[in-house]
Amino acid sequence: MSIKKGEIYEGTVKEVIFPNKGIVEIQERPVIVKHTVKGQNVRFQINKVRKGKCEARLLEVLEKAPAEITPPCPHFGICGGCSWQNLPYEEQLKLKAEQVQKLLDEVCQNYIFEGIKPSPRQFAYRNKMEFSFGDEVKDGPLVLGMHKRGSFYDIVTVDQCQIVDSDFRQILSCVLKFSQAQGWTFYHKMRHEGYLRHLLVRKAARTEEILIDLVTSTEKTYESGFQEFVDALLALPLSGKITGILHTANDSLADIIQNDGTKILWGQDYFYEELLGLRFKITPFSFFQTNSLGAEVLYETARSYVGETKDKVIFDLYSGTGTIAQMLAPVAKKVVGVEIVEEAVEAAKTNAKLNGLENCEFLAGDVLKVVDMLEERPDLVVVDPPRDGMHPKALQKIAGSMGAERMVYISCKPTSLARDLVEMQGYGYRVERVCCVDMFPGTSHVETIALLTRETQKLKDLEIEF
């Protein structure tokens, strides 16, 4: 018998592969059922049948896994933000480490896998949230929160979300209640009409400074009501301190936060965060790790992998706002950061000046093009590329012709890392050590750091080929 689309089956989840794909065997064929846990007995419906591959939609958990617990968040399973709050934290860490090691074992040999380091906070760890306005059911009342699991349109109000602290929850509830009272409508993604789009909230873990940004279309203007909006937020009994309340226009047809112009309604358009003794100025759309305390663990681990840096030139590629570069600058001869987002580069320059670092240079541009313009050759390269990893041509230039003795690769997507490591080993690098850092408790995501060293003999052979 063949498996057909639409058919309903029951089975036990045998394993979970990255990121959250449960595997159930039916008729000796693996079926992927997302959002499941190893050991669960589940009912599911086949929704994709391809050559050698079947995918299904979870309908019901018939029997919980032995390790399963009651999730602490009431929105779990409805909200699409978290995948594993129904597992004890120790089990989450074990699962993530096993998934990463399995991926890397397939492409690397004789490397040391150093396991996973936990987040300092399991809950209330996020310093940034992008909440969406919408409705929970078609033509329902206005809600504000996160997308429902598996839905592009439906939004669920997450006023009891556990991965943020109470200040985020208070701000969300206040903005939703105010918007409902004003009769403001949400922006409809299909009709491209309406007003409210997103609420961006950022809060520093160390300084506890808060930035709030209401993102709307320009279909209407309600500036007469903004003073009341500001007053309502400032009256909240928050543990942190609001430094700025902003209004950003966004007329993009895509469901993204795009800055088409930002006005300051109150205060300023930035706040400060502190990491490992350094101070960072953060604007609404600056890239910054979403788990500040976890970022300290990540960067301390990366710094330990870097090793001796005295009198060495370091390239920090895909440098964002230059956080890693500034961590390394005090113990290096020079650090050069390259980042394609100009706003991030300007922020990096500002922060380097703020921290009194004079041996940092930040360049705006595509890594693929900028590396050709650099006259210096690095002793060490740190790469922290986007989720999809490095562009093949950029990888060829970085690994094939820069000649760095050591490379530290920081990745937020292990599958991209595994793919790139195959190529980098082909250019003469050997994977020495790998460590995971859990920056996203409750979710299926994990950061991974790999240390690579160049093998001299293979390097010489490759240089002849070039």
Q: How far apart are alpha carbons 327 and 310 in whole angstroms?
A: 14
Q: How far apart are alpha carbons 38 and 13 in whole angstroms?
A: 5
Give me 104's structure tokens: 């890397």
* DSSP-assigned letter for residue 221: -
Give me 463's structure tokens: 């240089």
Residue 347: its H or E element: helix 342-354
DSSP state string for 280-294: EEE-TT----S-HHH
Q: Of 51, 60, 50, 47, which is closest to residue 5 (Cα–Cα)? A: 47
Tell the burial category of 376 from Cβ atoms under 10 Å away from its Cβ (0-12, 13-18, 19+): exposed
CB 450 within 8 A of CB 411: yes
Which residue among 161, 412, 435, 436 is the active-site one? Answer: 412
CB 296 within 8 A of CB 325: no
Q: Of 243, 151, 228, 234, which is closest to residue 184 (Cα–Cα)? A: 228
Dmax (CA) of the chain: 71
Q: How far apart are alpha carbons 442 and 308 in whole angstroms?
A: 35
CB 414 within 8 A of CB 105: no
Active site residue 161: no
Give me 121's structure tokens: 């906070």
Identify any residues that bridge with 431 across adjacent strands, giving them in sequence order.
Answer: 452
CB 247 within 8 A of CB 263: yes
Q: How far apart are alpha carbons 55 and 33 in whole angstroms?
A: 6
Give me 185's structure tokens: 């409508």
Q: How far apart are alpha carbons 140 and 407 in whole angstroms?
A: 52
Q: Which residues are catalytic?
A: 412
